[in-house]
């Protein structure tokens, strides 16, 4: 095999009863000559082929069969592909313990792969224990070393040298932030402090400032806690998965009252801190500030950062899936959205499908997409989620030809599948005069 078959594992995204996508052909082992005994390699490949075929479209059976196969062939040459398949299937099944275990096994096989290290860290941070958190700090350190070794000679020709260096700084800041959170979990405040400070220096942002405020508050350093919480309040950008400005305001108010007995003077201090943050020139660019019409937004393609003006879709029906890497239901909904997009691509030229990512930490998106491999265009939200009041994930929106919201569906319900979205698109494409909006929960 070449687990050539591992595209077969993309079937784990299908729901029961859904028609399976045709599997990639699996290389048939060359049989021995008549009367000859099959070699160990041929038997191993046959057993793997059988494990995959017997699973059909059942994710749980596929994972169980692959785990049994590994017990029989623990040194299989197909381990990298099998481990990846187990990680993908177990995440779909929300068996995060198994996903974490086999992500780490992938790291052991290929320690220099940044995306695998980051995936493992994400899983361990959310679902691991103290021993796992310790290992995850080591993975973060390895990723930082790889980033530091990256040479401008290796950059994409699409990037300028200046942008390449900025991206390196942003990536390093994101990993330092994660490692700092892990040190917090391990009750190592000095290491956490160091990482949060370095992260903020590389890419000033609300998450690092808030964490520094928490550490200062724990050690009763109220002036520093006030300053850091004020920075977090000033830098919070209102995105759904960013630092909550409301929470930052509460923390700031609490420590201010502890230090001063009341909130007198807090407003002036917060404004001065905002001016300080603006003057320092936070590396986070607030994009599309003040834009009120979706068609005037210019988003960025995740793949290479090139601009994608929504004006290019004007006059068409725009179908958008808003999602984030940490959102489990987003993983469940994504293959359905992809299937609808693929089905209508050649039939309805006036429909545009977009996947819109809303992660605050954009460095997490690349590794995620390397796993999921969506076919539709993937863009960063760049404030469009705020304008359209996307408050939960996934959220599917349809904008009609005039740019108004014709349909909104929040979350993922297994009962709400492909045909529901197709019907909503068709009603938006061909509205009936006097008819209700495309969906029961549509909004304008």
436 pLDDT band, cuts 50/70/90, is low
Cis bond upstream, residue 394 (ω within 30):
yes
Average pLDDT value over all residues in the chain: 82
CA dihedral 130, 136, 140, 141 (to 10 degrees): 80
Dist. CA 229–CA 246, nearest whole Å: 11
The sign of the torsion formed by the CA atoms of 431, 437, 441, 444 equals positive
Distance CA(141)–CA(413), nearest Å, equals: 39
What mean pLDDT do residues 298-326 have? Answer: 90
Q: In whole angstroms, what separates CA 239 from the centre of its chain?
A: 14
Alpha helices in 1-129 (DSSP H): 40-55, 59-72, 79-92, 96-109, 114-127
Closest Cα to residue 55, out of 93, 27, 29?
A: 93
For residue 208 the two structure tokens come to 């690092």
Please report the DSSP string for 272-317 in residue order.
Answer: HHHHHHHHHT-SS--TTTT---GGG-EEEETTT--EEEGGGGTTSE
Any idea which residue has 């381990």 for tokens? 79
- pLDDT tens for 383-429 read 899 899 888 889 999 999 999 999 999 887 766 667 889 999 999 99
| The pLDDT of residue 17 is above 70 | no
For the chain, the straight-line distance linking the first and the last C-alpha, in angstroms and rounded, comes to 52
Q: Which is catalytic among the residues 2, 140, 330, 358? A: 330
- Ordered by start, the domain boundaries in the chain are 204-284, 294-429
Strand duo 395-399 + 307-309: pairing = unpaired
330 is catalytic: yes
Look up the pTM and report it: 0.55
pLDDT at site 2? 29
Whether the per-residue pLDDT at 286 is higher than 70: the answer is no
Residue for token digits 């819109």?
356
Q: Which whole-number Å values give the CA distances from 165 to 150, 202, 282, in the listed order?
A: 10, 11, 16
Alpha-carbon span 343 to 313, nearest angstrom: 19
Reported CATH class of domain 294-429? alpha beta
Phi/psi at 425 (5° precision):
-65, -45
Output the pLDDT for position 31: 44
Of the listed ranges 15-19, 326-330, 428-432, the one predicted with least confidence: 15-19
Nearest-5° Cα angle at 222, 228 to 246:
50
Which entry of 2, 140, 327, 358 is annotated as an active-site residue? 327
Q: What mean pLDDT is predicted for residues 370-388?
A: 88
199-245 pLDDT, tens digit per residue, is 988 888 899 999 999 999 999 999 999 999 999 999 887 665 568 88
The answer to whether residue 2 is catalytic is no
Mean pLDDT is lowest, of 96-105, 106-115, 353-362, 432-441, for 432-441
């Amino acid at each position: 095999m070449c687990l050539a078959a591992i595209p077969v594992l993309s079937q784990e995204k299908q729901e029961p009863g859904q028609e399976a996508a045709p599997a990639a052909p699996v290389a048939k082992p060359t049989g021995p000559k008549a009367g000859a005994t099959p070699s160990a390699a041929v038997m191993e490949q046959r057993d793997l082929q059988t494990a995959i075929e017997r699973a059909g479209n059942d994710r749980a059976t596929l994972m169980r069969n692959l785990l049994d196969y590994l017990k029989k062939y623990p040194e299989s040459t197909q381990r990298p592909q099998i481990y990846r398949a187990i990680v993908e299937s177990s995440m779909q099944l929300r068996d995060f313990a198994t996903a974490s275990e086999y992500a780490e096994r992938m790291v052991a096989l290929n320690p220099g792969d940044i995306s695998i290290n980051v995936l493992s860290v994400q899983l361990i941070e959310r679902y691991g224990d103290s021993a796992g958190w310790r290992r995850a700090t080591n993975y973060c350190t390895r990723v930082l070393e790889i980033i530091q070794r990256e040479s401008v000679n290796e950059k994409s020709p699409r990037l300028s040298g200046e942008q390449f260096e900025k991206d390196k700084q942003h990536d390093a800041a994101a990993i330092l932030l994660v490692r700092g959170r892990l040190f917090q979990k391990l009750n190592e405040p000095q290491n956490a402090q160091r990482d949060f400070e370095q992260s903020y220096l590389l890419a000033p942002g609300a998450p690092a400032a808030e964490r520094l405020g928490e550490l200062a508050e724990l050690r009763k350093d109220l002036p520093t806690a006030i300053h850091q919480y004020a920075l977090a309040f000033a830098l919070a950008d209102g995105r759904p998965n960013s630092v909550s400005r409301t929470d930052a305001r509460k923390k700031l108010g609490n420590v201010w009252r502890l230090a001063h007995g009341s909130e007198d003077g807090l407003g002036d201090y917060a404004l001065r801190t905002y001016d300080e943050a603006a003057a320092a020139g936070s590396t986070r660019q607030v994009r599309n500030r003040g834009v009120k019409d979706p068609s005037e937004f210019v988003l960025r393609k995740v793949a290479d950062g090139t601009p994608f003006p929504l004006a290019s879709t004007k006059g068409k029906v725009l179908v958008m899936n808003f999602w984030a890497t940490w959102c489990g239901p987003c993983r469940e909904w994504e293959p359905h959205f992809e299937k609808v997009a693929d089905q209508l691509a050649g039939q309805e030229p006036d429909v545009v499908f977009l996947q819109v990512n809303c992660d605050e930490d954009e460095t997490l998106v690349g590794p995620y997409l390397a796993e999921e491999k969506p076919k539709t265009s993937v863009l960063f939200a760049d404030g469009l989620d705020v304008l359209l009041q996307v408050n939960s994930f996934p959220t599917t929106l349809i904008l009609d030809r005039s740019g108004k919201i014709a349909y909104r569906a929040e979350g993922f319900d297994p009962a709400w599948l492909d045909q529901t979205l197709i019907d909503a698109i068709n009603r938006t494409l061909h509205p009936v005069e006097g008819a209700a909006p495309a969906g029961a929960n549509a909004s304008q």
